[in-house]
Amino acid sequence: MNQKKVVLVTGAVVGALSVLLMKAGNPANMGICVACFIRDIAGALGMHRAEIVQYIRPEVPGFILGSFMAAVVGGEFKARGGSSPLLRFILGFFVMLGALVFLGCPLRMVLRLAGGDLNALVGLAGFTAGIWVGLQFLKGGFSLGKSSKVAVANGYVLPVVSVVLLILLVTAPPFIFFSQKGPGSMHAPWLMALAAGIVVGVLAQRSRLCMAGGIRDLFLIRDPHRFRGFVMIFVVALVFNMAFGSFKLGFAEQPVAHSDGLWNFLSMMLVGFGSVLLGGCPLRQCILAGEGDADAAVSFLGMLTGTAFAHNFSIAASPNGVTPNGKFAVILGLVVVTVIGYLSMPRSVALKTKEEAQHAL
Amino acid sequence: MPYKVDARGLSCPQPVVLAKKAVEQTQEKVIEVLVDNAAARENVSRFARSAGCQVEVLPAADDEYVIKIIREPGATK
């Protein structure tokens, strides 16, 4: 199967599975949400105590393990790292604060749109603006530095953590928190959710599906390849939502969403900006971590920590709206990401002569 | 001598940004981009084709690839 077909099939499968997971018990317009699901996992581990969002979502370990298996089989598993892990942790952290003020990762943004939630359109505009801003830094020479091969154990860390999470889910020891009500209590049967996560992980590894990458490539090289996957998720989820009667067009009273336009825009701008500097959206970070990328694994830990902070410090929004702390966190996030972007640019960015350019590389 | 770009170890989309810069800011007929993962190989190749260049991918040692971007007369810059 050629790459074009792989990305289209991946988009279609992600769109279909998202609606099916929702029908099987996941919260509305939240068949898959990398931010919400990592947040639920942080809650289950007691990293935050928001009682309505605590559950070990098997989809997330599924993404990582699916990617791990696909990478091993495809000969693409390679333990690598050392490209500014600390900065990646911080970027991952703020990407999650943005996502939880918007109430969804870029993938859930598309799913919300496919469910008729027009607030997601405002989020998409912000996400696109953030990607454009991030791209200007990349064009100016932004780099977090080269990664290199590292001891293979680095590459196994997140796949092993994923297995441990699944064991904790199935054995449900008393120190793991499981929501009794709210979104955290709504979930598809765990085996189905895990299987869906693994399928998405395998396909996303093969297709390099990335919500930020799709839009970024449109700007950067005017190539719609990855964006087709993005569109396919939307179209298939839309068709499924209509077929199941779960499509409701409008801004008001959308499931697990608020309609504060300014903050929907700015929070997703933060997500887009941070994702581009990280080299991929939250889903892509999970996939890269499964392939052995220890830097992406650190981004994942930053995201996990970010979700915990979001709930410990009243940063996460709710259907009631955005909190003052949430607004502050988004502004702080935009400032921090800008500073990281600026400080990671070379002092002279113009390739003046061939000799200088060769030397710079 | 082809113009060489070493994009090993760089996160997506930096290999593409470097390849694009090389295509836009040099006059060399052949640009070789060295990458060390399949995603970068696909991205750089896709960029080069969309810029109207010919592309040859040559496997190099140790999971690395040399992407030969051959500028065609009248290719879009």
pLDDT digits (tens, 9 = 90+) for A62-97: 999 999 999 999 999 999 999 999 999 999 999 999
> What residue type is A240 in one-letter code?
F
Contact B4 A361 (CB under 8 A): yes
- Name chain B contacts of A222, Cβ cutoff 8 Å: 50
Are B11 and A278 a contacting pair at CB < 8 A?
Answer: yes
Checking if the pLDDT of A104 tops 50, the result is yes
Mutate to test the interface with B, among A146, A209, A216, A281 (most CBs of B within 10 A): A146
What share of chain B in percent tops pLDDT 70?
A: 94
For residue A243, is pLDDT > 90? yes
Strands B30-35 and B3-6: parallel
Q: Report yes or no on B52 lying in a domain.
A: yes
Tell me if residue A175 falls in helix, strand or coil: coil
Coil, strand or helix: which one is A203?
A: helix
> Concatenated DSSP letters for A291-302?
TTBHHHHHHHHH
Specify the 3-state DSSP secondary structure of A290: helix
Residue A353 has pLDDT above 70, yes or no: no
Q: What share of chain B is helix, strand, coil (3-state, %, to 5)?
A: 30, 30, 40
Per-residue pLDDT for B62 more than 90?
Answer: no
Domain annotation covers residue B75: no
| Mean local confidence (pLDDT), B13-29 | 93
Name the residue with higher pLDDT: B63 or A5: A5
Q: Give per-residue pLDDT as tens, A255-311.
A: 999 999 999 999 999 999 999 999 999 999 999 999 999 999 999 999 999 999 999
Q: Is residue B21 part of a domain?
A: yes
Model pLDDT, residue A3: 87
Pick the closest to residue A6 from A228, A218, A211 (CA basis).
A228
Q: How confident is the model at residue A351 (pLDDT cuts 50, 70, 90)?
A: very low
Distance CA A163, CA B29 (A): 50
What integer pLDDT is reported at residue A157 of this predicted model? 98
pLDDT exceeds 60 at position B18:
yes
A350: pLDDT strictly greater than 50: no
Say if pTM beats, i.e. exceeds, 0.80.
yes
Q: How many residue pairs from chains A and B have C-beta atoms closer than 8 A?
A: 71
Q: How confident is the model at residue A349 (pLDDT cuts 50, 70, 90)?
A: very low
At B1 the pLDDT is 79
| Structure token pair of residue A268 | 């997703």
Comparing B52 with A351, the larger pLDDT belongs to B52
Q: Where is pLDDT greater, at A119 or B1? A: A119
The residue range of the domain holding B12 is 3-70
Q: Count of domains in chain B?
A: 1
Per-residue model confidence as pLDDT tens digits over B23-53:
999 988 999 999 999 999 999 999 999 999 9
Q: Is the Cβ–Cβ distance between A14 and A200 less than 8 Å?
A: yes
Check the CA dihedral A291-A11-A182-A189 and report its sign.
negative
A109-138 pLDDT, tens digit each: 999 999 999 999 999 999 999 999 999 999
Strands in B30-35's sheet, in edge-to-edge order, are: B3-6, B30-35, B65-70, B54-59
**Residue A281: C-alpha distances to residues A11, A25, A95, A119, A202 (Å):** 15, 25, 9, 20, 16
Over chain A, what is the mean pLDDT? 95
In this prediction, residues A163-180 reach a mean pLDDT of 98
**Residue in chain A nearest B12 by alpha carbon:** A279
- Give the torsion sign (CA, A56, A244, A10, A83): negative
Of A66-70, A142-146, B24-28, B73-77, the one with minimum mean pLDDT is: B73-77
Do residues B19 and B50 lie in contact, with contact meaning Cβ atoms separated by under 8 Å? Answer: no
Specify if B8 maps to a domain.
yes
Average confidence (pLDDT) over A26-43: 97
Residue A348 has pLDDT above 80, yes or no: no
Report yes or no on B77 lying in a domain.
Answer: no
> CATH number, domain at B18?
3.30.110.40
Q: Name the nearest CA neighbour of A38 among A23, A20, A55.
A: A55
Band of residue A254 on the pLDDT scale cut at 50, 70, 90: very high
- Across the interface, whether the CB atoms of B5 and A354 are under 8 A apart is answered no
Shortest distance, CA B47 to any CA of chain A (angstroms) = 6
pLDDT of residue A343: 96
Name residue B39's amino acid: A
Contact B42 A144 (CB under 8 A): no
- The 3-state DSSP class for residue A184 equals helix
pLDDT at B12 (0 to 100): 87
ipTM of this predicted complex?
A: 0.91
- Chain B positions touching chain A (beta carbons under 8 Å): 3-6, 8-14, 16-18, 20-22, 25-26, 37-39, 42-43, 46-47, 50-51, 63
Over range A198-205, report the average pLDDT: 98
